[in-house]
Amino acid sequence: MHIADIFTERGQTFSFEFFPPKTADSAASLFDNIAELIPLKPSHVSVTYGAGGGTRKVTHDLVVRIKQQTPLEVMPHLTCVGHTEAEIYDILEGYASAGISNILALGGDPPRNAPNYDRSLDAFRYASQLVQYIRKFKDRHAGTAIGDPRGFGIAVAGFPEGHPSTPNRVKEIEHLKAKVDAGADCIITQLFFDNRDFYDFRERCELAGITVPIVAGIMPVTSSSGLMRMADLAAGARFPARLLRAISRCNGRADATRRVGIHWATEQCRDLLDNDVAGIHFYTLNKSTATREIYASLGVETSLDLAADIPAP
């Protein structure tokens, strides 16, 4: 289903992000976790794309397997980095023929092991150009392969606390607007830990004339080592002192750290829901437990209950 129709049908979206597993064992474990998440009735799930196009085949295969073997709507991520136009065309063609309706179009980062990576070899420099290309893709197909006259639904990334490559935050919102003007249907944000950063970002988008839904990216801290990895991977994300203090009070006890991190993320979600968030995107790290605990603590059984307008008790 096209992402615009998901928003119309659901009111708010609740999506889960997975990454392509590296081994057969981790693939089996991922599918066990997906089976545990299905009862939460997410509006859709997404599958990441390795830096530099490194997971082209595994991302594609996981996307198709989820599509074929589960009832879930699945949105692949796709990056500019590492691809010629012909490769992007083939990837889109593969997704169109697999019945995939939506793509998360990203700039992407160069592979970590290639500090001198030459971006001039990539067909597209910025995500806005990829969005433009995906929009045009439907014309080349005359609407037949995708089966929707609008072509793919397109999501793009947003950075509430800013993206490190553009220190000028005014310019950055202009670049985000360019992605939306090129045809993006919604924005999914980088993870953040202080909702005020998200609300301020949402307001700055509004002032810039960005009207598409903005979905909040949430990832609970579940361990001290996980926090260090998040700090490394999540470009721009700030770890508030209050959260760091709460975690340090756990004094390295794994279970306590986990409970603090999940409680923090739950409170973020509760507050976002109270402030009319367009959707929440859960970075699951291929595990189901934290997301299921957040839903349980929010007092709901499924995403449909999260989106429901519930009368005051």
Instruction: Write the DSSP assignment of 119-132 as a string of letters.
Output: GGGSS-SSHHHHHH
The residue (of 277 and 300) whose beta carbon lies closer to ligand FAD is 277
Told to check if 51 binds ligand FAD by CB under 6 A, we report yes
- Judged by CB under 6 A, the residue of 41, 65, 141, 163 near ligand FAD is 163
- Judged by CB under 6 A, the residue of 3, 6, 106, 230 near ligand FAD is 106
- Judged by CB under 6 A, the residue of 117, 126, 199, 239 near ligand FAD is 126
Told to check if 235 binds ligand FAD by CB under 6 A, we report yes
Q: Which residue is nearest to ligand FAD (CB)?
A: 107
- Count residues contacting ligand FAD (CB under 6 A)? 24
Whether 172 is a known active-site residue: answer no
- Give the shortest CB-158-to-ligand FAD separation in angstroms: 7
Stretch of 46-54, 90-98, 134-142, 258-266 contacting ligand FAD, by CB under 6 A:
46-54
Told to check if 217 binds ligand FAD by CB under 6 A, we report yes
Query: Would you mind telling me the total number of residues written for the chain in this entry?
Result: 313
Told to check if 175 binds ligand FAD by CB under 6 A, we report yes
Q: Which of 17, 73, 172, 293 is catalytic?
A: 17
The residue (of 192 and 264) whose beta carbon lies closer to ligand FAD is 192
Told to check if 290 binds ligand FAD by CB under 6 A, we report no
- Give the shortest CB-299-to-ligand FAD separation in angstroms: 27
Instruction: Write the DSSP assignment of the chain as a string of letters.
Output: --HHHHHHHHSSEEEEEE---SSHHHHHHHHHHHHHHGGG--SEEEE---GGGTTHHHHHHHHHHHHHHSS--EEEEEESTT--HHHHHHHHHHHHHTT--EEEEE-----TT-TT--GGGSS-SSHHHHHHHHHHHHHHTTTTTT-STT-SEEEEEE-TT--TT---HHHHHHHHHHHHHTT--EEEEEE-S-HHHHHHHHHHHHHTT--S-EEEEE----SHHHHHHHHHHSTT----HHHHHHHHHTTT-HHHHHHHHHHHHHHHHHHHHHTT-SEEEEE-TT-SHHHHHHHHHTT-SSHHHHHS-PPP-
Told to check if 213 binds ligand FAD by CB under 6 A, we report no
- Give the shortest CB-218-to-ligand FAD separation in angstroms: 11
Residues that bind ligand FAD (CB under 6 A): 48-49, 51, 77, 79, 106-109, 126-128, 157, 163, 165-166, 172, 175, 179, 188-190, 217, 235
Which residues form the catalytic set? Answer: 17
